Each structure stands twice: as C-alpha cells, then as structure tokens.
Amino acid sequence: MTNQLDIVFGALADPTRRAVVEQLTRGPAAVSALHDGHDMALPTFLKHLKVLEESGLVSSTKKGRVRTVHIEAAPLRVMDDWLKRQKDMWEGRLDRLARLAETLNEEDST
C-alpha cells in the first residue's frame, strides 16, 4: 500500500495533474477538452495524462478519434484512508498535549 501511496502522491505533486484530476471530478472529458486551458504543447500534456494513468488515478477509452478520460476512485480512497488515519493520530496527540498543558497550568497555579 505504501508504494501505491507514493505513486499517487507523486502523481498529484504536479499542479497540472492536480488540475486535471479536479476537472475530472465534474465528469469524464475528452483529452482535447482537458488540454484546453493548459498553456503547454499537447505532447507535454499527454505526458501528464500518462503519469495519471500509470498511477491509476485516471483511465481512458477511445471511440473513433476521441479519447475520453475518466477519474478512478480507488486510488483516491486509499489516499483518503491514509490521510484520515494521520489526522486521527495527530488529533489524539494534540488532545493529549492540551490535557498535559492544562494539568501543568493547574499545578503551577496551586
């Protein structure tokens, strides 16, 4: 699972790829539509799509001359589960730290 997380976070480390994923949350889109709004050559943009596809974050289908890209939820769920565990762990630690600070303040005031 750690390897998959590394790959997914690596794919999302780039702002272009994050923008593509965000756009795909609104529904599937043709490569040409995804490319619009990105100030880069199509071959460069296709490299970004390849990284997203290799990470499992997106898949594509081809019908005629149109390639349509779809978001894949499974890698996002894995990432979300990991982030939730991290959040729970840190909230627990911060709660214990806050209780310790309260106890120390109470001891100081007596």
The H or E element that residue 27 is part of is none
Lowest pLDDT segment from 17-26, 46-55, 90-99: 90-99
Determine the Cα–Cα distance for residues 94 and 86; give it in Å rounded to an integer.
12
How many C-beta neighbours within 10 Å does residue 67 have? 15
Task: Map out the domains of the chain with their CATH numbers.
Answer: 2-109 (1.10.10.10)
The predicted model gives 32-57 an average pLDDT of: 96
Q: Please report, rounded to a whole number, the percentage of residues in the chain having pLDDT higher than 70.
A: 98
CA dist 19 and 4 (Å) reads: 20
- Considering the entire predicted model, what is its pTM? 0.76
Residue 1 has pLDDT above 80, yes or no: no
The pLDDT of residue 108? 81
pLDDT of residue 65: 95
Other Cβ atoms closer than 10 A to 7? 16
Burial of 11 (0-12, 13-18, 19+ CB in 10 A): buried
